[in-house]
Structure 1
Amino acid sequence: MPLPLYSSPRILAALAAAGLLLGSCSSPGNESQSIVAAAGPATPTSPLQVVAEFTGPQMVGVAVAPGGKIFACFPRWDYNPVYPIAVVGPNNTLTPYPNASWCTWTEAVKNEPQNHWICPQSVFADKAGMVWVLDAASPGFQGTVPGGPKLVKTDPKTGQVLLNVSFPASVVPTKSYLNDVRIDLQNNYAYITDSGTGAIVVVDLKTSKSRSLLGSHPSTKAEKGLVVKAAGHPMVDAQGRPAQINADGIALSTDNAYLYYCPLTGHTLYRIKTAALRDASLSETQLAQQVETVGKIPASDGLEIDAANNVYITSYEQSALLRRTPAGRIETVAKDARLQWPDTYSFAADGNLYVANSAIHKMPTWNKGVEQPHEPFRIFKMALPKKKAPSK
């Protein structure tokens, strides 16, 4: 069914007032009052191709499985999406993933938070072809639903749920917002950014046990005093408070040895050895000593790494896709006015780079309560020049 597929744009506020923080994604509901601006022209030399576009609801993530199947993520923020996780088909059509039941979050299923998408924030395809969904379970950023935060592994060929990791409140408290995830197949671990509390959550996928780490370290925190801008628009709320968003972007080096990450409100890229994150014997102080400052970067939402260990940056300040080379040089991959808050990357098996834009700077939160006109939420792709991996 083509989009728009979502309920009234302020349904989450009403649900919060009712104490439910629930919604339905089993029917389209009312059409949105979202204001869609006339589409801006592509930069003449832009390498970006539009794969799909939606007037709503707000999309934040994209993942491409090895077979070419495209997945999109629509969190329950200001809107109530019909399909929070969906397979993207021809002509902007969406199919609920893994099925309609998982996409339902209503009063009738409130006692089954582990088996329904509440507020999924990230969808990720690993190198073995499995698709993972990270559910922050904090609709409207109103706090985590008890029993709701989870990491779910699925088989995209069958839609079967293969693993369902629940996070205890001791690891993911009420103020947490699980943001992005990377899967380390070599060591059977998952690494997750928590942009709510400011931490890195690690998961032993063999046991489903998890730990929240670096919660007191500045690398996982928003840089104080920094006012970031998106396409020139200051990210300040109605009370005049600058956006202070903690650890967000995350990426694994090609050998799984290092985890790279950055706060969304920040201009610094960090990394840490994944072996240190997996070592439960390290004290908080010892672990903090393992954090490395990689260097300065433009403010970024999503990160990814290619075979040559270039770190790709979604520069929402510049409406651009950038990359930081191993030598520390910042290169422009694409700059296009249609990149209204580039959010999440995904590398496809055919070498194309996919990216989703989320227009976060157009949300009411950052515009004195009034949503601003925005272009459609789009999934783009572009071909990257083939480069040889650096010699050992």
Structure 2
Amino acid sequence: MLPHSFFAPARAAVLLALGCLGACSAPSSEPNVGAGPATAADSLGAAAPVAPAGSPLQIVAQFREPQIVGVAVLPDGRMFGDFPRWDNNPVAPVAEIGPGNSLTPYPDAEWCKWDETVRNEPQKHWICPQSVYVDPNGMLWVLDPASPGIKGTVAGGPKLVKIDPTTDKVVQNIAIPANVAPGKSYLNDVRVDPEAQYAYITESGIGSLVVIDLKTGKSRQLLARHKSMLGDTTLNIKADGKLLVDPTGKQGQFNADGIALSHDRQYLYWKPLTSYALYRIKTEALRNPALTDAQLAAQIEDLGKVPASDGMILDAQNNLYLSAFEDHSIKRRTPDGKIETVVQDPRLEWPDTFAFSADGRTLYVTNSAIHKTATWNQGVGQQDQHYHIFKLPVGK
């Protein structure tokens, strides 16, 4: 899940009210709460991508604003999204998504509040949540890098929070200290192993992995600025055929981003966003605090070339799904390294983050249209269509 900018100053935050806020009931086990098929124009009359004939993508939810990045789906079908405080100030930066695209602040309105009245409570409020994730036990985790506008972390704000959806209450709140998440860091995506009691996080600002012992709450920064963590600007990776260029003319370099945990939880996979390389390492090594970065680096496996992508997820058969933003597609890497196209659809405007249904047969994905934002389109915003959550059938 790519934040808007690591190099260009963020634009001033603008409060964009959510027209659909309010109480809502939970979606069914196969949520499909969107407003029908894609059309050729949105409510503003701007041209929007049209679904090709036979596309398996179905709209689950859509939002004119704010910009959605992450999606998480519980075993019972309840669905959650996160809307980072990048270039706007969403009322519900973490929300439960209900029928009719309704957004209910989650776990409550107080957690979603961030203004001058609560600046002295950075651990009790969402500052700039970047990732929502459901672990194998059905617990919801929210990762907050606490860097609104990507302008630097708020002191005391970076955190990993566990919520029990059966009570809608926070049950664990782990502060991530400044030596692990310093001012220029940006905690990006998370995977949790509830059996081993560890969390694994990609960090994109510096380029590192963060490992958290959930029993003690202790976190460690690993492999900072190692080559496997860093994007490569020499590749000229594009979206819609255009380079990602900030308002100053500087081409973007995006570091460790996508992350996936194998179903046996023995391997962690990751890749920098502006890179065609894929890596993995045994989680046992990451959990060993006696290993130095040099010893860890020796255990990294280079899995070869894959498409440039943002989000990643592994299924039970160890197929790795990748959100390939360069050609509006979702790709799948089989265990033997073969790359397959699952779906290619122009509505996948920067496919971002994935989630599976409980049976693994339905894949959910967001589109965040990051390449159309002013921050990465030379200062000219061109995102004039809806953001979406799509679903499509996969597996058997």
Name the CA distance, whole Å, in 2 between partners of 1:186 and 1:36: 50
Alignment equivalent of 1:207, drawn from 199, 206, 216: 216
For residues 132-169 of structure 1, give each alpha carbon's deviation from its aligned partner in whole angstroms, at most 9, with x where no partner exists: 00001000000000011000000112211010000110
- State the percentage of identical aligned residues: 58
The residue correspondences of 1:229-244 to structure 2 (distance < 5 A) are 229-244=238-253
Matched pairs, number: 363
Which SS does the other structure have where 2:235 is aligned?
coil
Which SS does the other structure have where 1:83 is aligned?
coil
Alignment equivalent of 1:85, drawn from 81, 87, 94: 94
Alignment pair present for 1:358 and 2:357: no
Q: Which amino acid aligns with 1:140?
A: G
Name the CA distance, whole Å, in 2 between partners of 1:106 and 1:24: 11
Which position in structure 2 is the counterpart of 1:4?
Answer: none
Query: For the Cα contact (< 8 Å) 1:249–1:261, is it kept in 2?
Result: yes
User: Mean Cα displacement is larger for which, 246-255 or 373-382?
Assistant: 373-382
Alignment pair present for 1:378 and 2:364: no
TM-score normalized by the length of structure 1? 0.90
Name the CA distance, whole Å, in 2 between partners of 1:268 and 1:176: 22
Which position in structure 2 is the counterpart of 1:8?
Answer: none
- CA change 1:79–1:35 in 2 (3 A) is farther
State the Cα RMSD in Å: 1.7
Which position in structure 2 is the counterpart of 1:319?
Answer: 328
User: What is the CA-CA distance between 1:223 and the residue it aligns to?
Assistant: 1.7
Name the CA distance, whole Å, in 2 between partners of 1:200 and 1:162: 24
Name the CA distance, whole Å, in 1 between partners of 2:75 and 2:45: 33
Which SS does the other structure have where 2:295 is aligned?
helix
Alignment pair present for 1:189 and 2:198: yes
Name the CA distance, whole Å, in 1 between partners of 2:248 and 2:11: 18
Alignment pair present for 1:369 and 2:379: yes
- CA change 1:123–1:156 in 2 (3 A) is same
Query: For the Cα contact (< 8 Å) 2:233–2:252, is it kept in 1?
Result: no
User: What is the CA-CA distance between 1:28 and the residue it aligns to?
Assistant: 5.0
Query: For the Cα contact (< 8 Å) 1:36–1:374, is it kept in 2?
Result: no
For residues 206-232 of structure 1, give each alpha carbon's deviation from its aligned partner in whole angstroms, at most 9, with x where no partner exists: 000000001031001112422211121
Q: Which amino acid aligns with 1:385?
A: G
For residues 58-77 of structure 1, give each alpha carbon's deviation from its aligned partner in whole angstroms, at most 9, with x where no partner exists: 11010001110000010001
Which SS does the other structure have where 1:225 is aligned?
helix
- CA change 1:41–1:28 in 2 (3 A) is closer
Name the CA distance, whole Å, in 1 between partners of 2:216 and 2:177: 14
Name the CA distance, whole Å, in 2 between partners of 1:37 and 1:154: 39
Name the CA distance, whole Å, in 1 between partners of 2:364 and 2:242: 25
The residue correspondences of 1:252-263 to structure 2 (distance < 5 A) are 252-263=261-272
Runs (5+) with no aligned partner, structure 2: 1-9, 20-42
Q: Which amino acid aligns with 1:44?
A: A
Q: Which amino acid aligns with 2:74?
A: A
Name the CA distance, whole Å, in 2 between partners of 1:230 and 1:36: 23
Q: Which amino acid aligns with 1:379?
A: I
Which position in structure 1 is the counterpart of 2:24?
Answer: none
Query: For the Cα contact (< 8 Å) 1:24–1:106, is it kept in 2?
Result: no
User: Mean Cα displacement is larger for which, 268-277 or 218-227?
Assistant: 218-227
Name the CA distance, whole Å, in 1 between partners of 2:249 and 2:234: 13
Query: For the Cα contact (< 8 Å) 1:24–1:105, is it kept in 2?
Result: no
- CA change 1:240–1:24 in 2 (3 A) is closer
Name the CA distance, whole Å, in 2 between partners of 1:308 and 1:14: 45
Name the CA distance, whole Å, in 2 between partners of 1:156 and 1:164: 15
Which position in structure 2 is the counterpart of 1:340?
Answer: 349
Which SS does the other structure have where 1:180 is aligned?
strand
Alignment pair present for 1:291 and 2:300: yes
